[in-house]
Amino acid sequence: MIVSNKQLRVLLITALATGATLLGGCATSNSSAPEANTPEIDEVAMGREQMIRAFDAAWVRVIASGQYREILDTEPAVKPGAANGYVVRMADCLPLPDLTPYPEQPVGLLKKVLDSGQIRRLVQDVPSTPGSTTDYFTGITDRYFAAVLAEIDSHYGVKIEYTNVGYPPGRLASTSALINDEVDFLSQLNATGGRTQNLRRRISRRFSCTMVASSQFIQIPKDSPLVDEIKSLNDLMDRPEIRICAGPLTTQTIKAYMPNHKVMTRYINDIADCDDKISRGKADIMVNPLPDLGIAGFNNYKSVHTLIVAGTPLWVALEGIACDVAPASGRGEMECREINPL
């Protein structure tokens, strides 16, 4: 089998991130000093990979200990326990701590965080109001991350504090923020399957286990004739004349699945604003990750499950990605690209 330089580099980083080296085609313990012909270690890449593995190790222990259940039982603040009805448990990292070890020879980013006791988190400054979808997830994601940091602290015997680096609501050049070292990681702003700066997130960043996942629900006014006509996602896809209003946790997914529909995006106070648009005849329905808008005080909607699920991890920078320093058009989005794509 012919292995490219890029593939070899990925294999080496993966082995070294857990304290192993490649010998005779197998991963073995690295208990002695590297030989002269050992490839040079890329500490930037290795440190980023270690940071993700530390996040994963901590998150798996949060699940295994039952801490996440205690958090969901008390969220959101306006209706404690309701989160159990809309936060989906994505099983991409099983609660098996023995299979998810912490990196034990920190370098690069992980070492910097452990030594300094500081980590910078990118967040968006979205007002907290009952009419905003984000209001029903922010408390959960904040407490999840606090639990993850506590696990990392306990394992390494440190005390890490995080600093929020705030950015305005709306489309965000978050991949650039990572590449330019403005932040150390992104909080759970972006679903794994989406794109940012015209590049798939899965290939433009490193990402952790999914920590929060949610479904998407079609919200139809109870007095609308569409209540009897839209019973599934397929029904909606077959009706491109239906105008959709969506919030920041939904819009990219719905636009991708329904490219022929008109989708209006409200980034702030999205539930309230979409309800207003529907009442004024500017939109027909909204799509939202809450299974019952009554949680937010809007009781005049019937929910239809789309069976679409989107999940959000934590994100760290990836090597081999370059981003524009300014929009190519002068007013568009700063695009990113792979330097040496496969």
Buried b (16+ CB within 10 A) or exposed e, 78-104: eeeebbeebbeebeebebebeebebbe
Tell whether the torsion through CA atoms of 244, 250, 252 and 254 is positive or negative: negative
Higher pLDDT, 64 or 124: 64
pLDDT band at 229 (very low <50, low <70, confident <90, very high): very high
- Number of Cβ within 10 Å of residue 229's Cβ equals 12
Tell whether the torsion through CA atoms of 270, 208, 196 and 243 is positive or negative: negative
* Residue-level pLDDT at 169: 77
Which stretches within the chain are classed as H helix? 5-17, 43-65, 67-72, 108-116, 138-156, 174-179, 201-204, 233-237, 251-257, 270-279
Q: Which helix (H) or strand (E) holds 318?
A: none
Average pLDDT, the chain: 88
Q: Assign 134 to helix, strand or coil.
A: helix
Give me the residue label for tokens 């929020």: 164
* Residue-level pLDDT at 65: 97
pLDDT digits 0-9 by tens, 128-171: 888 999 999 999 999 999 999 999 999 999 999 999 998 887 78
* Residue-level pLDDT at 170: 75
Asked if residue 39 has pLDDT above 70, the reply is no
Asked if residue 211 has pLDDT above 50, the reply is yes
Higher pLDDT, 41 or 232: 232
Whether the upstream peptide bond of residue 76 has omega within 30° of 0, thus cis, is yes
Asked if residue 44 has pLDDT above 90, the reply is yes
pLDDT band at 33 (very low <50, low <70, confident <90, very high): very low
Q: What is the mean pLDDT of residues 116-125?
A: 93
Domains of the chain: 5-21+40-212+313-338 (no CATH), 214-311 (3.40.190.10)
pLDDT band at 125 (very low <50, low <70, confident <90, very high): confident
Q: What is the mean pLDDT of residues 94-106?
A: 97
DSSP 8-state code for residue 83: G
Q: What angle do CA 232, 236, 239 make, to 5 degrees?
A: 145
